[in-house]
Structure 1
């Protein structure tokens, strides 16, 4: 049975590559990427052979713990990809549970991640080839670590079977995964800098992880190499016991998943009824208020909106990292205006996200002005406070409070002017976005060249509209005169407010005249 499951995994992989050229290309690209990372890892592990035992142990414990945690979280992020490891698909077959466990564990190693992990763990024996006893312990620890990676991933996959059938859960987990990916550069840089400037912190972290299930297997060889045999033996026992416990929990979770498999139909079924009216209960009882409530509901529940805005709260972090690298605090102070731009310009895709549901506005006779006001009001309920908070954040760290009024005016000018411009642009042009119900990461259908031109042209126009605020902020920074900063704040409120209202009225007039054409373009895109 174990050999049959492994064969099934290989057959499915082969058939998938034959059926889809895209999967074949993806596999080749993934293999090349994995081989590159593996080559760097093996070179580093060989180099650690010459390092001190304490330094090598610290690095391997931290990196190994991250590897185990990554394996444990992988089923949530890529749920539904590996059909041979889906517990619900074995519910109708009388397969003995122990054989199914071993077969799934063996099949879990097959693939690019499993092969790269196995080879990298095997290379740790080179790092600890400092004596026969240490080498043997390193080999045993590598096997235990590999088993823990696979078993933890299978445990999470079996325990989260019900959640994995929910499209919203899958999309939310992928959105959350984007956060560490976007911050990968700053994380690596700060980690490297921290190792250089404060080794004791990472030594303390490694010391804690060494006695946890995720790091004990990587700490045992270091303890033996340092002459602490009893400590290394205790850590090896912790690692082995963790593997046994994880395997037992996996067997229980798998047995439960086999008895009560999750319903596949639930992923496409309607969500359970919710109490209350949500935003419809507190928005004004007007056409614009109804549009605002509908739009705000989409901002909260549609993962496509979340994918577009997930970068906004990370802007201060990224710019802080950039300012420290360049030793220029002015970059950090731009967090507010840049975040305001991303929030304001996201309104340009609102009608495109509606797709054919935009027909409801046409059929109900909603005036273009009410449509524009409602969408803008929904955006401002969270964009305005978010822009203000993000604008203040850099000044708490960098000081320079004399520049705050100018940058606050620039942020408000960008937000208000950008929302007005986006209200006009979205009434004239639609852009290529994922369709309703599709993954926000799916390649959007439609005319991508028009989308690129619309986005680029809109950014240039917005830059022109906020030139007065930009000039006043520059004068404040150059002359140090606070009057220019307060003038920038006034210009942001007055000029931005005027462009905001004017853009909504102009966009509403365009939408009244071009509503059927806008709907026709949405139908063609769908």
Structure 2
């Protein structure tokens, strides 16, 4: 029966290559990227164990494995569940014993790009102990237990929390929190790592000169006794000859796997009898909302609907929540580099990012785009309707970001040039979005799904579309940079006012021309756009 589950998962995985060219390209790119990353990591750790200090290899395996377990356990919570290709609820009528069902789902859960990458990496890094056969055997046992901890723990947590994960309010809050953490963790780690120094013992020879970082060494010692790192620390513990510690950590690893299996078994048994359903809660409608605050016309109707998206759709509101954090991120990055250049560039960057955020509005519409087709909304009304909310809120957000950045950097004399660059970047990127979104549409998360979810085949299409949009925006924004950058370097009020005038006037001209171009493309390709949006997986 386990082999049957594995066969089903392989068949379903193979069928993804038949759906569309974009899905095939996306799967191939993801597989090649994962294989390359795994190969580099294995080579680095194994080389460290064979040529360098094996203690460093043990440290890397313990901490890296703990991070892998943490990712397997936490990411599905933010992504609202695990891969549901083999949904256990589909097997309720087949009278399959629950233990057999658990075993089949656990093995099938490894048949994916992340699963295969985890297995290869776990087994590969164990060969860092190739020169110590006994330690190698212990490390391979730890790798098997570590992979089991990843899969079983992930399934247990998501199945246990399934009723909560189905709540719309939970999804909205967790989505924003996930985006905030994702945006801040990199710069924060870099800032912290900048203050870490490697300690070298005086008088040590070349073979023992490099010592483990005290902070990481202490962290590995603690993590090795937790469910996250116990399995991964077995090899390094055996290498140190700490047999009592090895027995204790093996007990922790086995206990974690057993507990995860028990929790998943109980939670799955409850879910099969009482499947989780949405809470059905939603906001209470009062009046017409934004539709009652705008004039009666097709353009303003699209404006009201777009504004409603920005206020109520987590796929939009999540990106808005990240904007105030960008100055903080740039501040920590500037602290690590010793320059405030990135902090001062936050305002123009926010303007560009806000304008480009509507570059795939049609894709976000999903089936609601049929309303535009059936109601006869023309291209100009659609283009302006999607741009107006950004033109109202965007300048305020960009200006506030500029003021915050110059205040922190104590560079008030650069306020006017930075405002000119920010307004120009906002208008030009909005213009490019109005033109590009009528021609290039790519798959995105559907309404109600996690914004972190990427549909199969969307990676390459997104990369191509955004790459083209970025290149066009950079080319069209050259006049804005040609005035704004000298204004930053030369200073003076006149140069600052010139940067603002050029940014606003030139950006407005490009916006008007882009809306006209986008409207013509939209009117000509309306049936194809509808067909393309409805074909998204």
Give the TM-score normalised by the residue count of structure 2: 0.71
Greater per-residue helix proportion? 1
Q: Are 1:286 and 2:306 an aligned pair?
A: no
Tell me the distance in 1 between the aligned counterparts of 2:20 and 2:356.
Answer: 36
Q: Which has the higher contact order (CA 8 A, sep 6+)?
A: 2
Correspondences of 1:483-494 after superposition (within 5 Å)? 484=492, 486-491=493-498
Tell me the distance in 1 between the aligned counterparts of 2:150 and 2:38.
Answer: 17
Question: 2:85 — aligned with what?
Answer: 83
Q: Are 1:250 and 2:258 an aligned pair?
A: no
Tell me the distance in 1 between the aligned counterparts of 2:22 and 2:441.
Answer: 21
Q: Are 1:410 and 2:410 an aligned pair?
A: no
- Stretch of structure 1 that moved more, 210-219 or 171-180: 171-180
Q: Are 1:276 and 2:291 an aligned pair?
A: no
Structure 2 stretches of 5 or more lacking a match?
A: 200-212, 447-452, 531-537
Q: Are 1:148 and 2:149 an aligned pair?
A: yes
State which of 436, 441, 445 in structure 2 corresponds to 1:433: 441
Shift of 1:190: 6.8
Provide closer, same or farther for how the CA distance between residues 203 and 5 of structure 1 changes in structure 2, counting only shifts above 3 A. same
Aligned residues: 502
Shift of 1:181: 8.2
Tell me the distance in 1 between the aligned counterparts of 2:68 and 2:16.
Answer: 28
Shift of 1:65: 0.9
State which of 460, 463, 479 in structure 2 corresponds to 1:464: 479
Structure 1 stretches of 5 or more lacking a match?
A: 477-483
Tell me the distance in 1 between the aligned counterparts of 2:496 and 2:74.
Answer: 46
Shift of 1:339: 1.8
Deviation per CA, 1:482-511, whole angstroms, max 9, x where unpaired? xx1x44554465665566777888899x69
Shift of 1:182: 8.2
Shift of 1:91: 1.6
Tell me the distance in 1 between the aligned counterparts of 2:198 and 2:70.
Answer: 26
Deviation per CA, 1:308-352, whole angstroms, max 9, x where unpaired? 879967866886798689875434422211221222354566578
Cα RMSD for the two superposed structures: 5.2
Tell me the distance in 2 between the aligned counterparts of 1:250 and 1:278.
Answer: 45
Question: 2:41 — aligned with what?
Answer: 41
Q: Please say if residues 153 and 260 of structure 2, whose CA atoms lie closer than 8 Å, have aligned partners that are also in contact.
A: yes
Q: Please say if residues 352 and 422 of structure 2, whose CA atoms lie closer than 8 Å, have aligned partners that are also in contact.
A: no
Deviation per CA, 1:150-197, whole angstroms, max 9, x where unpaired? 212322453465688899999999998888888998789778766665
Q: Please say if residues 105 and 150 of structure 1, whose CA atoms lie closer than 8 Å, have aligned partners that are also in contact.
A: yes
Q: Please say if residues 307 and 440 of structure 1, whose CA atoms lie closer than 8 Å, have aligned partners that are also in contact.
A: no
Question: 2:219 — aligned with what?
Answer: 205
Question: 1:127 — aligned with what?
Answer: 128
Tell me the distance in 2 between the aligned counterparts of 1:14 and 1:283.
Answer: 50
Tell me the distance in 1 between the aligned counterparts of 2:303 and 2:135.
Answer: 66
Correspondences of 1:300-311 after superposition (within 5 Å)? 300-301=311-312, 305=316
Give the TM-score normalised by the residue count of structure 1: 0.72
Tell me the distance in 2 between the aligned counterparts of 1:278 and 1:381.
Answer: 23
Correspondences of 1:370-519 after superposition (within 5 Å)? 372=384, 375=386, 378-380=389-391, 382-392=393-403, 394-395=405-406, 399-414=409-424, 417-418=427-428, 422=431, 426=434, 430-434=438-442, 459-465=474-480, 467-476=482-491, 484=492, 486-491=493-498, 518-519=522-523
Q: Please say if residues 220 and 232 of structure 1, whose CA atoms lie closer than 8 Å, have aligned partners that are also in contact.
A: yes
Shift of 1:148: 0.6
Correspondences of 1:12-91 after superposition (within 5 Å)? 12-13=12-13, 29-50=29-50, 51-52=52-53, 54-73=55-74, 75=76, 77=79, 83-84=85-86, 86-91=87-92
Q: Please say if residues 433 and 445 of structure 1, whose CA atoms lie closer than 8 Å, have aligned partners that are also in contact.
A: no
Shift of 1:94: 1.0
Tell me the distance in 1 between the aligned counterparts of 2:35 and 2:512.
Answer: 56
Tell me the distance in 2 between the aligned counterparts of 1:357 and 1:178.
Answer: 31
Shift of 1:471: 3.2
Shift of 1:117: 2.8
Tell me the distance in 2 between the aligned counterparts of 1:44 and 1:183.
Answer: 27
Tell me the distance in 1 between the aligned counterparts of 2:425 and 2:14.
Answer: 51
Tell me the distance in 1 between the aligned counterparts of 2:19 and 2:300.
Answer: 50
Question: 2:98 — aligned with what?
Answer: 97
Tell me the distance in 2 between the aligned counterparts of 1:353 and 1:3.
Answer: 39
Tell me the distance in 2 between the aligned counterparts of 1:55 and 1:121.
Answer: 16
Tell me the distance in 1 between the aligned counterparts of 2:527 and 2:189.
Answer: 45
Shift of 1:473: 1.9
Provide closer, same or farther for how the CA distance between residues 75 and 15 of structure 1 changes in structure 2, counting only shifts above 3 A. same
SS in structure 2 at match of 1:68 = helix
Tell me the distance in 2 between the aligned counterparts of 1:160 and 1:307.
Answer: 22
Tell me the distance in 2 between the aligned counterparts of 1:523 and 1:71.
Answer: 42
Provide closer, same or farther for how the CA distance between residues 521 and 165 of structure 1 changes in structure 2, counting only shifts above 3 A. farther
Tell me the distance in 2 between the aligned counterparts of 1:212 and 1:176.
Answer: 25
Q: Please say if residues 188 and 332 of structure 2, whose CA atoms lie closer than 8 Å, have aligned partners that are also in contact.
A: no
